[in-house]
Amino acid sequence: MTDRIALRAATPDEIPALLALWARAARGTSITDDEAGVAALLARDPECLIVATPAGDPATVLGTVIAGWDGWRCHLYRLAVDPGHRRRGIGAALLAAAEERFAALGGRRADAMVLDDNALGHRTWQAAGYHPEPRWSRWVKPLPA
């Protein structure tokens, strides 16, 4: 099935469509899920937001992943596939593309934040070779606007 999809970097003009896809397809919401947040991401790293489209229809986004590289670590965010197009290998193809990008940049390990109750996400990450590290917790502090 994945021969029928294409992968490319997202462009700033499609930010509203990506936010709409995440609203219906992603699990949970992020503090940066708004136009300014995604625009800042693409301005800093124009290649990091990878989208999957039908091979003959590059304007229709079926899935996304953010492959963030900060020069130190490789972080994956916003892995999401349109509910009508799941179990076709799109999520796996997005993760493979993200890992290819990390390898090209010199990354040594990829990680993702995964909700403890996201069983569907767990199956997908495990199928791609990821495993949890239960001894770590996420510590956060919102920053002033």
Ligand X SMILES: CC(C)(COP(=O)(O)OP(=O)(O)OC[C@H]1O[C@@H](n2cnc3c(N)ncnc32)[C@H](O)[C@@H]1OP(=O)(O)O)[C@@H](O)C(=O)NCCC(=O)NCCS
Binding site for ligand X (CB under 6 A): 25-27, 79-81, 86-92, 112, 114, 118, 120-121, 123-124, 127
Pick the closer one to ligand X by CB: 61 or 90. Answer: 90
Nearest approach in angstroms of CB 9 to ligand X is 18
Nearest approach in angstroms of CB 77 to ligand X is 9
Can you tell me the distance from the alpha carbon of 70 to that of 35, in angstroms, rounded to the nearest whole number? 21
Q: Are 60 and 54 in contact (CB under 8 A)?
A: yes
Q: What is the DSSP secondary-structure string of 91-130?
A: HHHHHHHHHHHHHHHT---EEE---TT-HHHHHHHHHTT-
Pick the closer one to ligand X by CB: 41 or 80. Answer: 80
Pick the closer one to ligand X by CB: 19 or 114. Answer: 114
Nearest approach in angstroms of CB 95 to ligand X is 8
Q: Which residue has the tokens 């799941």?
A: 86
Pick the closer one to ligand X by CB: 107 or 121. Answer: 121
